[in-house]
Amino acid sequence: MFWNKEIECINRDELEKLQSQRLQSMVQRIYNNVPFYKKKFDELGINPKDITSVKQLSSLPFTYKSDLRDNYPFGLCAVPQQQIVRLHASSGTTGKATVVAYTQNDLDLWTEVIARSYTMAGISNSDTMQVSYGYGLFTGGLGAHYGAEKVGASVIPMSGGNTKKQLQLMEDFGSTVLACTPSYAAFLGESIVSANILDKIKLKIGVFGAEPWTEEMRQYIQNTMNIKAYNIYGLSEIIGPGVSMECECQNGSHIYEDHFIPEIINPETGEVLPEGELGELVFTAITKEALPLLRYRTRDLCTLTYEKCACGRTLARMGRIVGRSDDMLIVRGVNMFPSQVETVLLELPETTPHYAIIVDREGNLDTLEIHVEVAEQYWTDEMKQLDAIKKKITHALSNMLSLNPTVKLVEPNAMQRFEGKAQRVTDRRKL
């Protein structure tokens, strides 16, 4: 069993003590072993020996994704190459990949936090887990894989894609748990329904993450596949999936604070925000050996609460990621997030969760086009009926966004499906 009650229900004063000890030793380690951090500390006049409490965290410098890129590939590693046993990388839209390294202890830690996560969702050795995240440099596949083995589940290392085979093995092997991105889950769900095999599959739990998804998307997936869907969060730079996970209360995701210290900051000023305020999530990985990042700027926007959860856990909970500070679109001066579009569309029965947002510029004016796929049962050759649907969607989107988008209706199954992370926004203004 990986229900680590001693830690997950820990008294918060005790937790603070543990975090302080770990932070103290981490700060010393990065100062001694990573020239990048030594230089930063020296420039700021910080003596690592003076850092003895988590209360001092906000006085320490941030680490940015650009720091990893500038020190590509291994410049921020705190251990010699001989101790590194695994490398992963995440590719961004621009520039070089972000490389992350693991020692054996880091891999054990990763496996442990995923095992704790799966246990939180009620997954055990009685389950068969289909891992449909990509295996490879992306941390989704292998992360889920080792964690699932640790809880004793029978693991099917499917990787992403080949949807027909996914359904066949799901049926033949009796998969009870599905692990993939929410957008692929939505697609798999639709494929199960259209193949008319819902009564032949045994899925009961889904653990989905790697991209933002809304509560409406959760309902859509749960209803299509008749499962309970859980949110798992993480990022390669901190460890991969398993930085936080939802418990059965599904009221925020518990952060494994014994290893990853969260902060919410104002992304403009860097100032730490009070509990409950929306801002950028920052993590310090206090126990990682190969890549112990200090105050890493995730760019993910969410809230934090330290209130004890109804499940008994005292670990901080993060709200859903509402967007990334670099995902926010400013259209005609108005801030908008793709998740707002998803919320609106999934509340309307006429649409599917497959959509695209296209921002462009005509002259000096931004244009916003939203391509919306019509649900099969609402598609018709009657222009009048389609016009009414379009009007309804435009009205709902305009209300939510305070913008007047041009809505284009797309026929059922015509929008692109994604097997990994979905790419829904095209901003032609930047091209």
Positions touching ligand DLL (CB under 6 A) are 90, 133, 138-140, 209-212, 231-236, 240-241, 298, 300, 321, 324
Nearby residues of 364 by Cβ (< 8 Å), 6 or more positions away: none
CA-CA-CA-CA torsion sign (220, 322, 428, 344): positive
Residue closest to 175 by CA, chosen among 140, 123, 242? 123
Task: Find the residue with minimal CB distance to ligand DLL.
Answer: 209
Residue closest to 345 by CA, chosen among 227, 181, 212, 214? 214
Provide the residue type at 213 as one letter: W
Nearby residues of 264 by Cβ (< 8 Å), 6 or more positions away: 272, 273, 277, 278, 279, 280, 281, 282, 302, 303, 304
CA-CA-CA-CA torsion sign (140, 146, 149, 151): negative
| 3-class DSSP state of 239 | coil
| Min separation Cβ 236 and ligand DLL, Å | 3
225: tokens are 């596949």
Q: Which is nearer to ligand DLL, 188 or 407 (CB)?
A: 188
| Min separation Cβ 76 and ligand DLL, Å | 15
| Min separation Cβ 288 and ligand DLL, Å | 15
| Min separation Cβ 179 and ligand DLL, Å | 8
| Min separation Cβ 327 and ligand DLL, Å | 8
Q: Which is nearer to ligand DLL, 140 or 267 (CB)?
A: 140
Q: Which is nearer to ligand DLL, 68 or 79 (CB)?
A: 68
CB 62 within 8 A of CB 282: yes
Q: Which is nearer to ligand DLL, 24 or 159 (CB)?
A: 159
Q: Which is nearer to ligand DLL, 219 or 413 (CB)?
A: 219
| Min separation Cβ 182 and ligand DLL, Å | 8
Strand 154-156 vs strand 406-410: parallel, antiparallel, or unpaired? unpaired
Residue closest to 286 by CA, chosen among 6, 28, 74, 9? 28
* CA distances for 270 relative to 95, 134, 199, 293, angstroms: 25, 34, 52, 17
| Min separation Cβ 180 and ligand DLL, Å | 8
- Residue 3 C-beta-side C-alpha neighbours within 13 Å: 13
Q: Which is nearer to ligand DLL, 24 or 340 (CB)?
A: 340
Q: Which is nearer to ligand DLL, 282 or 403 (CB)?
A: 282
